[in-house]
Amino acid sequence: MSKQSEKQTSSDDSQIDLDAEFRKSNIKEVLDKLDRELIGLKPVKTRIRETAALLLVDRVRKQMGLSAGAPSLHMCFTGNPGTGKTTVALRMSEILHRLGYVREGHLVSVTRDDLVGQYIGHTAPKTKEVLKKAMGGVLFIDEAYYLYKPENERDYGAESIEILLQTMENNREDLVVILAGYKDRMDKFFHSNPGMRSRIAHHIDFPDYDADELVAIAKLMLADQNYRLSPAGEEAFGKYIRLRMTMEHFANARSVRNALDRARLRQANRLFIGTKKALTKTDLMTLEPEDILASRVFLEGKPDSGSTAITEAKEQG
């Protein structure tokens, strides 16, 4: 066997401990944080773990001299409001940073208004300024389909899209773009913008939460603020959620957060106007059924109450 062949065989037989690389990267900490922060969303968490595995293996391949070019990391998150898209984008930015795919790992979250100007010459500097802030991290564009308005001949969204496309292609190693929005509208957006579609490698759909998951989310949110539901209060909140889910403008976890803010307001008023002036720590922490059941959402179905309930539903959304 020639010396060249012996050298090649030796190189091919060299080993690397993938589990050790995983521990060294500290991405397990981020994945565990995601599990703690978000109830359910198993398909989403699976895709994020798969993506993290792909990036880890790609980094190990580079260490072994097996370069295959930088993977395309631009993503699209689809789903209804309040399903955790922004939170997952934030954790994805941390994973990318810890694995060395972006320099800083910060998240810049924007909408159309941050990118598109209202007159000629305004859009390009706005879009470029946002891209400058996001460089080295992740740019999260919520409701990205609003960038494209073909029905308006004087709209400047197409100019912003063109700048984004150029930057996504030319700065792939220093910027990751995540587009987000309703699935049907994003599908239409990609159909109208094939250049954008071709640059998005990862599509992740975020399902709605069921009622039990939303109650669990409420308990997590309350615990973060040193509140809790009494057993009867939890039952009442379950009833509230199941009713609220049938109304317009329901926004999953976002609606849960708004409902809890209102419940805390009612609890504070109940404690203030009550005859019991000496309050315990438990009194101050606990939301009771009356703090939930006083919601106008429960007036749905009563005479002349439909408009009132829908008004609150819109405010909750």
What percentage of the chain reaches a pLDDT higher than 70? 88
- pLDDT tens column, 275-293: 667 889 999 999 999 999 9
Residue 4, domain member (yes or no): no
Whole-angstrom Cα distance, residue 62 to residue 9? 18
d(CA 12, CA 200): 34
Asked whether residue 255 is domain-assigned, the answer is yes
Q: Is residue 127 part of a domain?
A: yes
Q: Are residues 234 and 199 in the same domain?
A: no
- Is a pLDDT exceeding 70 seen at residue 310? no
> Of 172, 206, 240, which residue constitutes the final position of a domain?
206
The token pair at 301 is 């179905």
User: Do residues 168 and 253 both lie within one domain?
Assistant: no
Number of domains present in the structure of the chain:
2
Least confident stretch, 44-58, 211-225, 291-305 = 291-305
Note the residue count of the chain: 317
173 CB-near residues (< 8 Å, 6+ apart): 70, 101
One domain for residues 160 and 221:
no
Beta carbons within 8 Å of 76's beta carbon, 6+ residues apart: 178, 179, 180, 186, 190, 200, 202, 203, 204
Sign of the dihedral through C-alpha 111, 116, 117, 118: negative
From CA 248, how far away is CA 81, in angstroms rounded?
13
Which is higher by pLDDT, 24 or 208? 208
CA 12 and chain centroid, separation: 41
Q: Is the pLDDT of residue 30 over 50?
A: yes
Is the same domain home to 69 and 132?
yes
Residue that has been written with the tokens 């073909």 in this structure: 150
156 C-beta neighbours (distance < 10 Å), count: 22
- Residue 7 belongs to a domain: no
- Quote the pLDDT of residue 180: 96
- Is residue 33 within 8 A of residue 88, CB to CB? The reply is no
Residues 119 and 196 in one domain: yes
Considering the domain architecture, whether residues 82 and 178 belong to the same structural domain is answered as yes
Listed residue (253, 250, 231, 259) closest to 317, CA to CA: 250
Same-domain status, 140 and 257: no
Query: Does 292 fall in a domain?
Result: yes
Which CATH number belongs to the domain containing residue 23 in this structure?
Answer: 3.40.50.300
Clarify whether residues 26 and 100 are in a common domain. yes
Q: How far are the Cα atoms of 42, 89, 110 from residue 45, in angstroms, in the given order?
A: 5, 12, 23
Residue of 281 and 309 predicted with greater confidence? 281
Amino acid at 122: H
Does 80 score more than 90 pLDDT?
yes
Q: Please give the residue range of the domain that contains residue 261.
A: 211-316
CATH number of the domain enclosing 258:
1.10.8.60
- Average confidence score pLDDT of the chain: 87
Residue ending a domain, choose from 180, 206, 232: 206
Q: Which helix (H) or strand (E) holds 108?
A: strand 107-110
Q: Are strands 286-287 and 75-79 parallel, antiparallel or unpaired?
A: unpaired
Q: Please give the model's pTM, rounded to 2 decimal places.
A: 0.83
Residue 8 forms part of a structural domain: no
3-state secondary structure 113-172: HHHCCCCCCCHHHHHHHHHHHHCCCEEEECCHHHHCCCCCCCCCHHHHHHHHHHHHHHCC
Residue partners of 86: CB distance under 8 A and separation at least 6: 109, 140, 142, 180
Of 147, 180, 206, which residue is a domain's last?
206
Distance separating alpha carbons of residues 41 and 77, to the nearest angstrom: 13
Of 252, 199, 194, 263, the closest CA to residue 228 belongs to 263
* Residue 67: predicted pLDDT: 73
Q: Same structural domain for residues 175 and 74?
A: yes
Give the residue among 311, 254, 315, 265 at the shortest CA–CA distance from 290. 265
Instruction: Give yes or no: residues 90 and 229 share one domain.
Output: no
Q: Looking at the structure, tell me whether residues 144 and 292 fall in a common domain.
A: no
Residue 222 has pLDDT above 70, yes or no: yes
- Do 170 and 47 fall within a single domain? yes
Is 9 within the bounds of a domain?
Answer: no
